[in-house]
A = this chain, B = another copy of it.
């Protein structure tokens, strides 16, 4: 399936979360990731995310779509993902 993942995580934990999400998904902006992922991999990702998160204050939102073609993406301004490849 194709997912969009966005998080809002306390500063102390954000580095770990970024590293985790990058292992499974493509970073597209700030705290936003997207990508194709299997059910099993998604379970692994969410399990690890929960270990990092403070669920009292942090938040993670997933949008799941069975097929990427059902979602059209449009970028205005900087495509940060392009920059990312040079960092």
Contacts and interface: CB of A to CB of B under 8 A. Distances in A.
B76 A8 contact: no
Given A8-B80, A31-B30, A32-B6, A74 B59 contact: no
Contacts of A39: none
User: Is the contact region of chain A dominated by helix, strand, or loop, or is it mixed?
Assistant: strand
Contacts of A63: 4, 63, 71-73
A75 B63 CA distance: 9
A65 B73 CA distance: 9
Given A8-B80, A50-B76, A76-B50, A32 B55 contact: no
5 contacts: A8-B30, A54-B77, A56-B77, A61-B75, A62-B73
